[in-house]
Amino acid sequence: MRRLEILQWAGLLGGAMLWGLGHVVGYGVTEARCSAGGVAGGIDFDLWEGLITGIAWALALAAALASLAVIAGTQGASYESGPPVGRLRFFAIAALAANTIFMAALLLYALGTIFNVACRQA
């Protein structure tokens, strides 16, 4: 049961934290690329954004798989069952839905940042 609880929390919080972290680190890469030192230093913006977002997406997939493991581990119960099994199943179902949305958002973020021009005058 303890393993399922840890997987449940990893699945519930993983995708959201990775989505936020990907945005923060991606913003830092953009600032580094668009500064005078970044332009002269030759920071490859598309490569770094692709790596950051790709790693975040893969880890969000791992969080979704953790949610699936909890759903499989509580297969005989309903999300309306008593605690702790019902609570585990309920949060795992919610986490699977949320991680799917966060993975789609990370994919759209990657496409938007890679195919857009990062540094230009407003």
User: Where do the domains of the chain lie?
Assistant: 2-114
Token duo for residue 19: 């989505």
Q: Are 80 and 88 in contact (CB under 8 A)?
A: no
Please determine, for residue 42, whether its predicted confidence score (pLDDT) is greater than 80.
no
Please determine, for residue 79, whether its predicted confidence score (pLDDT) is greater than 70.
no
Please determine, for residue 17, whether its predicted confidence score (pLDDT) is greater than 90.
yes
Q: If you ran DSSP here, which 8-state letter would residue 81 be given?
A: S
Average pLDDT in the 62-84 region? 85
Residue with tokens 């759903």: 71
Q: Which range, of 23-32, 54-63, 91-100, averages the lowest pLDDT?
A: 23-32
The CA–CA distances, whole Å, from 101 to 3, 57, 61, 97, 110 equal 25, 11, 11, 7, 14
Q: Please spell the DSSP secondary structure of 82-121, one letter per residue.
A: PTTHHHHHHHHHHHHHHHHHHHHHHHHHHHHHHSS--S--
Q: pLDDT tens digit string along 90-114?
A: 999 999 999 999 999 999 999 998 8
Model confidence band, residue 39 (pLDDT cutoffs 50, 70, 90): low
